[in-house]
Amino acid sequence: MSKISLLFPLALLASCGKSTPPVPTETVESLAANPERLKELRQQCKTDRAKLGDELCNRVAEATNKRFFGDGKVPYTPPKESPKF
């Protein structure tokens, strides 16, 4: 038997193993720009994070923060007078 015929069954067995989850195509920016898709994915991450994967759910969380906090370029302007308690 040749080496190739011995290795072929091993290659088939190796390819039958666990498949990796698909790489998410949504970026943080695209999710932040699409609130309906972001809401849908937030709900799915709450109910079935294992199915979606940590990478996508982390992007969803980051996009949610980006929408809430904005771009972060607004400077803090304290009031001219301090509050009276």
Per-residue pLDDT reduced to its tens digit, 42-82? 999 999 999 999 999 999 999 999 998 887 777 788 889 98
Contact 67, 32 (CB under 8 A): yes
In this prediction the pTM is 0.58
pLDDT at 64: 95
> Could you give the CA distance from residue 7 to residue 10 in angstroms, rounded to a whole number?
5
CA distance 61 to 67: 10
Alpha helix segments (H runs only) across the chain: 3-15, 28-33, 35-47, 49-52, 54-69
**Tokens representing residue 31 in the block:** 């999710």
Condensed to tens digits (0 to 9), the pLDDT of residues 6-47 reads 455 545 455 555 555 555 588 999 999 999 999 999 999 999
Report the pLDDT value the prediction gives residue 15, as an integer from 0 to 100.
53
Q: How many Å apart are CA 46 and CA 76, to the nearest integer?
A: 33
